[in-house]
Structure 1
Amino acid sequence: MARWDEAPVERPRMSDAAYERLKDAIVSGELAPGEKIRDAEVAQRLGLSRTPVREALTRLTDTGLVEAKPGVYARITTLNRHDVAATLVVLRSLDELAVRTGVPHMTADHLDRMRRANDDFARAVEQHDITGAFAADDAFHGVAIDAAGNPVLRRVIDQLHPQVHRILHRKFSTLLGGHDTVNHHAELVELCARGDADAAAVLSAEHWTHLGGLIDDLFEADELDA
């Protein structure tokens, strides 16, 4: 896979492209926690002007991936136990809302998409394909968001996901690499197929709670200290 800075960014939507490139580099750890980012340097490496890079850094600051003091520094945030816990609480509530409001509107196509996404996820887990697993997991949970028909819900969830993805990327086998998630997905699909929105929402929330507990254990063991 090419490095994040190997190819110039094509026009248009330059700030969006810069945002995605930097976000992926932060999530993967290629840009390390605490590392300083200089907009002029990033702009040169990506073949952009400084304006779209500054816009991208502002968005990354809003997601919590970058911390900045205007005119002084911008750097990759460290993994903060309190901030991660707060993010997980919000994501759990949002995902629960998406499932509860989405299930009544699910069609056979929605269910087929969930099953295909879980198959893709299982295959990615077996191959230890972290990027593929993220994409499949996001696609799986994205079905409920689509069915809910709430664009605000999607925007907020998309803004929060990268913080959790940073940890999942570092501890893939521990947190996302087992078969528990595959089985959870399969059980969730069956509840959705039965139209049991309340049970599906509860199951989805329980999974986020379980994930939060695993992440908290890693902080307790000092395995997520940066």
Structure 2
Amino acid sequence: MQPIVWFASVLFAAHTVAGFGFGALGGGGGGGGCGCAPPAPPPCAAPPVTCPAPLCPAPACAPPPPPPQTYCPPAPACQVCAPPPPPPCPQSPPPPPPCPPPPPPCPQVQVTCPRPQPPAQNDCCHSCGQSCRFKSRRALGAVIKQLSGRQEEEEEDVEHEGEDAMCNSAYLKAIMINNMSENTSESKRAIQKSAEYKFEKKFDVICATGEFSYVAHSNLFCQTTLGSVTCYAFQH
């Protein structure tokens, strides 16, 4: 800035001195004519353009120095140990003692149950003029026959006549009398129902007002009469 101001001052001083000198010279000769005007001073130079200082970016920070390298020695190799030896095998147990001999077979005992006696046969009639017959089978005792491995007992037929051939149970006779009436249909049903309830067995019953005859196989039976109705009941 100072050089520019100094240069302008020099130009201004030179211009002033030239003006004064020209007038003096002209005045001497100007006694006879007019003097010329001094030339116009040169235009002032334009002030220089001051460029702004360039904006420089802030300097970048230098990268940090790398960390110091640490040297690690290699790890020592692991020592491989051999597996421990297996335990010794246990000793095998001693062999079992021999089995005892089988017992001797038991003697076969043949047990023969006595045959059930067949039911007795009751042959009777009502108002027919014949007596009732009651036939049963009876064993003769310890008479045993060996036939093809079977044991049999000898039996005989025994006939009973009289009161036993008509009724062999006083209890059944009382049941019949308590359930008899003048109606044969009602009597037979009432006797059968009561006898099966008391004895817990099956019974057949026949009731009639006239003559009738029958043959039945049974070990429990009874024939009784009440008024004009006669009934006969026997167990299956």
TM-score, length-scaled by structure 1: 0.24
Which structure's relative contact order is higher, taking Cα pairs within 8 Å and 6+ residues apart?
A: 1
Query: Whose helix proportion is higher, 1 or 2?
Result: 1
TM-score, length-scaled by structure 2: 0.23
